[in-house]
Structure 1
Amino acid sequence: MENTTASITNNSDEIDLIELLLNIWQKKWWVILFTVIFAGAGVLYALYTKEQWTSKAEIIAPRDYEIANVLQAHLAYARITDSKPDDLNTRLYNSLMTELRSVNSRVDFFKQSALYQRLTADIQTEAGKQGILRNLVNEQTTITWPDKKKEIDYPTIAFSAERPEEAKSTLEAYMRYLNNSVFELERDGFLLEVNNDISGLEFSLARMEERLPLSREIRLETQQKNLERALSTAKAAGIKEFAKTQISEGIIVPELSLGEADIQLADNQLSDNNFLFLMGEKYLQAQIDNVDKIPLIFPADYHFKKTQLTQLKSLLSEQTAEIQDQSFHYQSAPYLPLKRDKPKRALIVLIATLLGGMIGVIMALLMSALELRKKRTKP
């Protein structure tokens, strides 16, 4: 009995499946129609939807030859000021990383870019323009930072556009903009430092030129008074002349024209103001007559600073606004993409075709069910 029941059930399932397939076959034109419609829609969407092409670049710290001009200027500055040069390569690269992280820097770039001007040419509202700008900054530009877990070794900058040439050229322009920003900041800082040194040297030299003549005048006035006092003392003592006689090696005996006076003094005593009168009237008078003819002699430090000032001004005049260096090294330069990111046309058409077929089958079954219901409701 049970075997008979199971056999009837299996036969019923087979009949239902066959009936289902027959119903679908009878409504096959509906299935074909929906499949063709959805496939056509998929083709149209794939053909007319905006394409996306992405160009990428990988960068590392610059090599010395890539920052040769700026490096030479900094080395020259270090030699002139006798200072230690810093790691310019790393400093410039870190400055570039700061610019890469700056959203404002990206906004400033795209506002003046040819791509933004083209995309907003027909847009009148500010809201529309801001929407395009946000998309360029946040969606079409991506920066991937190094991550050991993901095996990303270098910062990767990518830009997506509707055309491959546009993706590559915009990324190149963005990297140039960042590079120019880095070197403009570096140049401004360097010029400020050099100008501060020049101002400091000019002030120091001006102070020396102001004080040294005054110091000389005071020194000469003091010297003249000492000589005049010594001359008065020499006249009172009757010392006319002074002479030195070397009687043997290493022994010098001062001889004074004082008759039989036997006075022996060391040289350091003669340089003392208290013993100047021992030089004699003739020598002291000659000193007094020529004391105002002693030239003003600037110290070695003055001449060193003056030379340093000249060199710094020369270095400053050599600095130009033209940027010839690069604050990074391309590990992988921006390239022309050969494969678009989207749309995946074959996949879109395939999915649309399958979806159309499924909807067609469902519609065929619904129509068959409705027809069957109508038949059953008829008297």
Structure 2
Amino acid sequence: MTHNDNNFVRSNNNSEQIDLIDIFMQLWRGKWLIAIFIMIAVVVAGIYVSLVKEKWTSTAVITMPDAGQIAGYTNAMALIYGDGKVDNPDIQQRVITRFSGAFSALAETLKNQSAPEALTIDSAVKGQPLPLKVTYQGDSAKHAQQQLAKYIQQVDEQIADELDQDLAINIKSRLTELQDSLATQEKVAQEQKNLRIKQITQALTFAKDAGVNQPQVQQTQDVTQDTLFLLGSDALESMIKNEASRPLVFSGDYYRTRQNLLDIQRIKPDPANMHAYRYVMKPTEPLFRDSPKRSLTVLIAALLGAMVGAGAVLARNAIRNYQPKY
């Protein structure tokens, strides 16, 4: 029983071996037909790769600007609000965050236009907010590099204009605040002057009523508001004239406020000297295209052509050798 089974297995193996050899021989005899299919596939692939639009990707890496790149902005903010209220690292972080948001908005706009453009921005190092990697896909290596540099500069100029507008708003607000403070201090000083004149005038009235024409005290520092009339009417009249012509007296805060006002009025930031980023790696000129991959495309086409050609040869031989069973 076992002997018969072994013979059966060997018979099946011989049959399978003969079938494989037969298939190989059929393919060999039809090699010219297979070659024709391969040539057709390669020609079609060649036409495809010559007509399809090439894609090249330029890459740049950026990070937050150096302190000097936004010095005009930070110095102006320090003049407006004081050095102690300006944190340079915080401003640098906020500026690059604003740049990233504006760049993402531009990328989305380009993606949704009638002729979409592939512009992206993402973290260069996974899990870290900085540095940022920006890419642009163009139809040539040079075009991709130039367009990426152009869009980075475009967003940089946009942020610089926004910072300039932000400064203008802060300057206007701070100037209004300082001018209101000066006006208040001037009003208080004028009221103090009027009150002083009024007090001296009242003392003069008392001195005349009391018939005090000459000073009745030796030390003027001992004179109070109630005893001011003891200076005499002649002295009090001179004091009134002096007080009326004397300029207003201000505290040190008034002059510090005035100096701050003048400093802020001289602020003239230049957006051209403001930059919202710093290059870690400038836009590259790619050496290899993303697509089409010519060698790979031709190779795949040749393999597909060979497979189709082999199938055609086997199908042709099967049809020729077909014998209907009756």
Q: Equivalent residue for 2:233?
A: 284
Match of 1:157 among 125, 134, 159: 134
Trace 1:14-25 onto structure 2 (pairs within 5 A): 14-25=17-28
Trace 1:179-198 onto structure 2 (pairs within 5 A): 179-198=156-175
Q: Equivalent residue for 1:319?
A: 269
Report whether the alignment pairs 1:361 with 2:323.
Answer: no
Q: Equivalent residue for 2:247?
A: 296
Q: Equivalent residue for 1:271?
A: 223
Q: Judge which range, 322-331 or 186-195, deviates more.
A: 322-331
CA positional deviation for 1:5:
4.7
Q: Equivalent residue for 1:335?
A: 284
Letter in 2 for 1:232: D
Match of 1:145 among 123, 126, 144: 123
Letter in 2 for 1:221: K
Q: Equivalent residue for 2:98?
A: 95
Q: Equivalent residue for 2:42?
A: 39
Q: Would the aligned equivalents of 1:56 and 1:157 in 2 still touch at CA under 8 Å?
A: yes
Helix, strand or coil: the match of 1:339?
A: coil
Closer, same or farther in 2 for the Cα pair 1:274/1:63, shift >3 Å?
Answer: closer
Helix, strand or coil: the match of 2:199?
A: helix
Q: Would the aligned equivalents of 2:64 and 2:277 in 1 still touch at CA under 8 Å?
A: yes
CA positional deviation for 1:217:
3.1
CA positional deviation for 1:232:
2.2
TM-score (norm 2): 0.85
Helix, strand or coil: the match of 2:249?
A: coil
CA positional deviation for 1:314:
1.1
Q: Equivalent residue for 1:219?
A: 196
Q: Would the aligned equivalents of 1:234 and 1:277 in 2 still touch at CA under 8 Å?
A: no
Trace 1:237-252 onto structure 2 (pairs within 5 A): 240-242=214-216, 244=218
Corresponding pairs, count: 318
CA positional deviation for 1:37:
0.6
Structure-2 separation of matches of 1:11 and 1:98: 71
Closer, same or farther in 2 for the Cα pair 1:50/1:240, shift >3 Å?
Answer: closer
Q: Equivalent residue for 1:258?
A: none
Structure-2 separation of matches of 1:242 and 1:340: 105
CA positional deviation for 1:187:
1.6
**Structure 1: which 5+ residue stretches go unaligned?**
112-128, 245-253, 255-266
CA positional deviation for 1:176:
1.0
CA positional deviation for 1:215:
4.4
Closer, same or farther in 2 for the Cα pair 1:71/1:90, shift >3 Å?
Answer: same
Structure-1 separation of matches of 2:208 and 2:317: 143
Letter in 2 for 1:333: K
Q: Would the aligned equivalents of 2:27 and 2:313 in 1 still touch at CA under 8 Å?
A: yes
Report whether the alignment pairs 1:55 with 2:58.
Answer: yes
Q: Equivalent residue for 2:180?
A: 203
Match of 1:305 among 253, 257, 268: 257
Letter in 2 for 1:169: Q
Closer, same or farther in 2 for the Cα pair 1:155/1:131, shift >3 Å?
Answer: same
Q: Judge which range, 214-223 or 171-180, deviates more.
A: 214-223
**Structure 2: which 5+ residue stretches go unaligned?**
none
Q: Would the aligned equivalents of 2:56 and 2:286 in 1 still touch at CA under 8 Å?
A: yes
CA positional deviation for 1:200:
2.0
TM-score (norm 1): 0.74
Structure-2 separation of matches of 1:175 and 1:377: 73
CA positional deviation for 1:372:
0.7
Helix, strand or coil: the match of 1:274?
A: coil
Q: Would the aligned equivalents of 1:234 and 1:240 in 2 still touch at CA under 8 Å?
A: no
Letter in 1 for 2:205: E
Report whether the alignment pairs 1:30 with 2:33.
Answer: yes
Q: Would the aligned equivalents of 2:41 and 2:304 in 1 still touch at CA under 8 Å?
A: yes
Give the % identical residues. 23
Q: Would the aligned equivalents of 2:214 and 2:234 in 1 still touch at CA under 8 Å?
A: no
Structure having the higher Rg: 1
Structure-1 separation of matches of 2:156 and 2:138: 22
Closer, same or farther in 2 for the Cα pair 1:190/1:153, shift >3 Å?
Answer: closer
Q: Judge which range, 335-344 or 303-312, deviates more.
A: 303-312
Give a deviation string over 1:123-152, Cα, whole Å, max 9, x none: xxxxxx9331xx31xxx1222225547x99
Structure-2 separation of matches of 1:208 and 1:96: 42
Q: Would the aligned equivalents of 1:216 and 1:296 in 2 still touch at CA under 8 Å?
A: no
Q: Would the aligned equivalents of 2:61 and 2:134 in 1 still touch at CA under 8 Å?
A: yes
CA positional deviation for 1:369:
0.6
CA positional deviation for 1:15:
3.4
Letter in 2 for 1:43: G
CA positional deviation for 1:86:
2.1
Give a deviation string over 1:19-62, Cα, whole Å, max 9, x none: 32332233222211111111111122222221111011111222
Structure-1 separation of matches of 2:324 and 2:17: 25
Q: Equivalent residue for 1:130?
A: 113
